[in-house]
Each structure stands twice: as structure tokens, then as C-alpha cells.
Structure 1
């Protein structure tokens, strides 16, 4: 009797579980192939202007037209996609991977155009909950976005592989594979790099009498920067700007190194101005345009002229060491 009671109980539990929605699963209508291979990319990809983090170019490639859909999913079931991009690391932006071309990353998305249930390009990995009586379409198009990842932007060939899986509860995943996808990135709008001809510039300020500083009778010392920008052949010179960073009390007024120490001069500062007598900016929003000089076979050449001189900064002018350091920042692209 004990054995029969236990058996009856087990049969009862099994019957209830068999009708519970937890064992429901999605099903295919017009199931696609188990593996789909992406056709080749366009041979050349031309970049357009875009801020960092945005797409400079996109390619849309259709890979399936069988109108496959998932149906009969129950509440609590899931559908979505994951993605593996071979050999490329994250670019530090959402869903963006570094490439071998400086400043250019790729982002891979999937879409079923004109399908309201898909809802625009989606970038794996993603997962959504299903609902009864809804139909979930299988994607038909891959979008390759070329994302700007830095100030400098290069050019050249890009090649990569990826494997994506489309999956839903209870179904075998469908593999979407891109093998040796290659394109030549053409860049006619961005500099790949801008740098000064001289990495570190020393401006000899000489010895100046404190009385001359108090009287505003100091000699300005000239300094010059030649900047070479590579990777762009513009029909008109592209703007390149400059601003400065350092210990200042206001724009263009530079504090001495170790200010406040007993061996350092006080009551004075170094005034930095451009060739027109305007104090140099120390914020990006006030950056000054460099003067374009000429083109070279591999670069555009820009020039900046400035002056430095001692001026009173308030309080008693006392003798001492009066060195200062300033850094410059180039703004381009």
C-alpha cells in the first residue's frame, strides 16, 4: 500500500508539471538555415565628418529574405542575439571595437527593415522577454558602422571576422557569420596627426631687475611653433587651433614654478600673448586659430607666434628664481 501511494503521488505531480507554462517554448514559422554567411563588404568606405563616438560611415548588407519568424512564445520566454568579434578589443564605447586604423572603430548591428516588431537597428548583445500572441521576426540585414574613436583619424584597410547567434527559448540558435570582411577606409576629411616640429621649446627670459618689473619696463621674448598635420589633403586649409595649460591666475598670466617658496620670486608673473598682444587662452572654448603656412607632400604646415615677458602680479616684487612651464594643446578635426 505504501508503494502504491507514493506512485500515485508521483504521477499526479508529473501531470501537473506537463501542463505548466514553464515548459512552453517558442517555435519557428519558416525557419531560416542553421548558418548564414554575410556577403562581402564594399571595397572602399569613405568617411564623413562626425564627432567622436558617432558614425563616420555605415554599410548595410542584406543576408536573408526568407521572412522567418518566431511565434507561440509564452510569457517569460526570451529572445535575443549575442556577438563575438574575433581578434578585436573594445574601443571603450558601447558595442564598438578597435580596428588597426587609428581613430576608426566598428559597430555591428542587425535589422529587419520595415518591421515594426523588430524596431530599428539592434546591436548585440541584447535580450528581450516575449509575450503571448506576438511574432518576433528574424533579421535580414547587418549594419557595419565605422565609429570615430579619437581626435586623429587614419586610413587604410580594415579586416575582421564575427559570429552572431540569434536565439529564443527552446530553439537551436541560428549562426550569422562574417568571415574575412575587408574594406579600404578612405579618409579625405580628417588629419591623422598634428604635432609641433619641436617637442619642447625653451624661451630664455634672461635676468630682469625687479624695478623694471614694477615699472612695466620689461623686454618681451618671442617664441614660435611650426605644426605639421598629416593625413589630409583639403581643398582649403582645415582649421587647427591651440590653447594652453599651466598654473595661471587668469588667461595668459603664468605663475612661477614652486610659487610661495622662499627661493622663488614673488609679486610678478609671466605674461603670454600672441603676435597681436592678446593674452593666450587657457580654456578649450577660447582656443586660437593657427596660421596656415603652406602644403608639403605629406603634411599641411601651420604656424603660431607668441611672446613672453615679466609683469607685476600684485604685492611687493621680490627677487628670486622665476621659471615657469606651460603646455600647449592642439585642437583639430
Structure 2
């Protein structure tokens, strides 16, 4: 088997992330990579083996900047390094050298988004079985706010959200402790946005939050929706109808 070792000699310090070096700029790391045989890109340090044939010498290298933190700054990065490509047990080697610096200007990344306020407790109230059966249960509105900071002035970002919980399908949350004494059965909680969209329980179906207002600490985005009890099939029995879910922000 033929082995190739790829390493990088640089004054930049390795970060806590694998194969990522610190740049000295807050929130920014860098990787040094080589595409080999036109198939796979390998980032240093690494080695690989091949049973048959030779490795084609790399034609170019890739310098990949990596976001490493919530806050991303701008600055100058010294790009002085050697990338070493060495075939073991042979005199075949290649050294790619870089001298100079790269100016990194952040006009894309922002610090991030986080929930504002305490957990939302949606008071569903007491409902009769008959009202649940005939669909006359009133919807209970709820909302929550998200603050995004580190944005350029007058910049709005596509902040999206999806949900996690004991769900059998989008827009339907199962009751907690089903089957236990004192817990209702045959009932679930229907959840929709104020636009009538069933709340998604997968990142691929995330829905957008609406921009609400600007404050000194950042931009406020708001989600508004509603919940109500609905039948899920089978006999409806009275009892507690509690459930919990979490929301996950999807942005940047």
C-alpha cells in the first residue's frame, strides 16, 4: 500500500476543533486542504493509503475559513505556512508555500439569535368532550420573541424555527404521560401558526419568523400561533391534557 502524509507548518496555533487553526480573529478559524485524485479533499494534518496505483500530485490547495464562535470579527490574518505532501518510503514530496496575509472582512455573519423572556405557558383551560368531538373548542393564541444581535443597521435575516416534542405529525402534539392514571386519552393538541401552517417538527420544514421591531440590543422577531384540543381517534376519556415542546432556531 502507498501512503501519503499531508501536514502544515505554520505559526498559527491549532484550535479546539479538529484540523482547524486559530487566526487571531474572534470567531474565525482556518483549515488547509488538498484535493487528491480529483475525488476527495483532505485537510491537514492527515494521511491516507492506496493499494493500487499512485496518487496524483495535487494541482491546487484550498484555504477554508471556519466560523468558530457566536461573534465574528474582522481583521488581518497572517497566511505564512508550508503545506507538505510526502509519499512514504520514497523521495517523492511536494511543498506549497504561502507568504503574506489575508484581510478578513465580516459583512455576512452576525452574532446570533436567542429567546427573549421566560418559557411560554399556554393555558388551554377546561374543555368538554362534546366540544372536542364536534370541533367547537376555541383556539388559544400564544407567541414568543427572539432577539438577533450583531446585525448591520437596517438588515433583516431569514430567521426560521422548527419544533421538538412528542409529535405524531406536523401540527399535532401528543399528551404527556399517555396511558397513566388521570391523563386524558383520544385527544391531542393541534398547533398552527397565525398563517394557518401546521407547526413543523423537522428542520427541513422550518418556517420563518416575522420581524417585529428594532431595539437597542438588536432586532426582535416574533412567532405567533395557536393551540387547541382535537380528537386523535378512539374513545375520548377525561383527564389531564398537558404537553410540552421546544423550539429550535434555524438561521445563518
| TM-score between the two structures when normalised by the length of structure 2 | 0.73
> Shift in Å at residue 324 of structure 1?
0.3
Query: 2: CA distance between counterparts of 1:184 and 1:228?
Result: 30
Aligned-residue CA RMSD in angstroms?
Answer: 4.2
Residue 107 (structure 1) aligned with residue 31 (structure 2): yes
Query: 1: CA distance between counterparts of 2:135 and 2:104?
Result: 56
Structure 2 unaligned runs (5+)? 36-40, 51-55
| TM-score between the two structures when normalised by the length of structure 1 | 0.57
**Is the strand fraction higher in 1 or 2?**
2
Residue 89 and residue 236 in structure 1: after superposition, are their counterparts in 2 closer, same or farther (change >3 A)?
closer
Query: 2: CA distance between counterparts of 1:268 and 1:101?
Result: 50
Residue 174 and residue 206 in structure 1: after superposition, are their counterparts in 2 closer, same or farther (change >3 A)?
same
- Of 179, 186, 190, 2:105 maps to 186
Corresponding residue for residue 317 of structure 1: 236
Answer with 1 or 2: which has the greater Rg. 1
Corresponding residue for residue 126 of structure 2: 207
- Of 73, 79, 101, 1:155 maps to 73
Structure 1 unaligned runs (5+)? 1-75, 112-120, 130-135
Contact 2:14 2:20 in 1 (8 A): no
> Shift in Å at residue 291 of structure 1?
0.9
**Is the helix fraction higher in 1 or 2?**
1
SS at match of 1:211: helix
Residue 220 (structure 1) aligned with residue 139 (structure 2): yes
Q: How does 1:1-333 map to 2 (within 5 A)?
A: 81-83=6-8, 87-89=13-15, 91-92=17-18, 95-97=19-21, 101-102=26-27, 104-109=28-33, 123-124=43-44, 125=46, 144-148=63-67, 154-157=72-75, 165=84, 185-233=104-152, 237-333=156-252
Query: 2: CA distance between counterparts of 1:137 and 1:212?
Result: 73
Q: State the aligned residue count.
A: 241
Contact 1:91 1:98 in 2 (8 A): no
Query: 2: CA distance between counterparts of 1:230 and 1:309?
Result: 34
Contact 1:157 1:182 in 2 (8 A): no
